[in-house]
């Protein structure tokens, strides 16, 4: 029935989501670049980061950005491996490593974002 074991999953869903996440990332990435570089301080000082992180929307955008970026990137790497018709044990090892790598770095990133405090009495000017 199936010529190759792995063809049970056609990959169509991941293909569609790779395009959708890619399009979202284009918008997020250009915004991120402008936001972080329109002034030399905006991306490189603690105050600027702290100020942005007072708005939960910035945190949410960063979390989404990180998750989508990691998914898109690791799925892309997996796509490269898929080109080389690996042996099943190697396939599983690569996939597991990519999963662990992705989850570890996303968790690390979340931890960084959540560790930034909300200030109680701030004056915005």
Partner 1 sequence: MPEDTGKIRKFDQKEWIKENISYHKDSGSWAWIYHRISGLALIGYLFLHVYSLSTLTAGREAFETKMKAFTTPFFMALEWVLFIFVLFHSLNGIRIVLVDWADGARYHKMLYKVSWIAGIILFLVMGYIMFSHEILKLFGK
Binding site for partner 1 (CB under 8 A): 19, 22-23, 25-26, 29-30, 33-34, 37-40, 44-46, 49, 66, 69-70, 73-74, 76-77, 80, 84-85, 105, 108-109, 111-112, 115-116
Smallest distance, Å, CB 40 to partner 1?
5
Q: Is 48 exposed, middle or buried (0-12, 13-18, 19+ CB in 10 A)?
A: middle
Closer CB to partner 1, residue 44 or residue 60? 44
Task: Check: CB of residue 21 under 8 Å from CB of residue 68.
Answer: yes
15 or 60: CB nearest partner 1: 15
CB of 124 to partner 1, least distance (A): 19
Q: Give the separation between CA 36 and CA 43, rounded to whole angstroms.
A: 4
Q: How far is the CB of 30 from partner 1 (least distance, A)?
A: 7
> Least distance in Å: CB of 73 to partner 1?
3
Give CA–CA dist 29/73, Å, rounded: 13
């Amino acid at each position: 029935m199936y010529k190759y074991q792995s063809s049970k999953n056609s990959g169509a869903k991941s293909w569609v989501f790779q395009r959708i996440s890619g399009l979202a990332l284009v918008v997020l990435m250009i915004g991120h670049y402008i936001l972080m570089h329109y002034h030399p301080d905006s991306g490189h000082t603690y105050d600027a980061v702290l100020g942005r992180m007072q708005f939960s929307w910035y945190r949410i955008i960063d979390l989404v950005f990180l998750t989508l970026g990691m998914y898109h990137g690791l799925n892309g790497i997996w796509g490269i491996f898929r080109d080389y018709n690996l042996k099943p044990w190697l396939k599983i090892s690569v996939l597991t490593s990519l999963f662990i790598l992705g989850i570890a770095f996303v968790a690390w990133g979340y931890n960084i974002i959540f560790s930034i405090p909300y200030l109680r009495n701030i004056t915005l000017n």
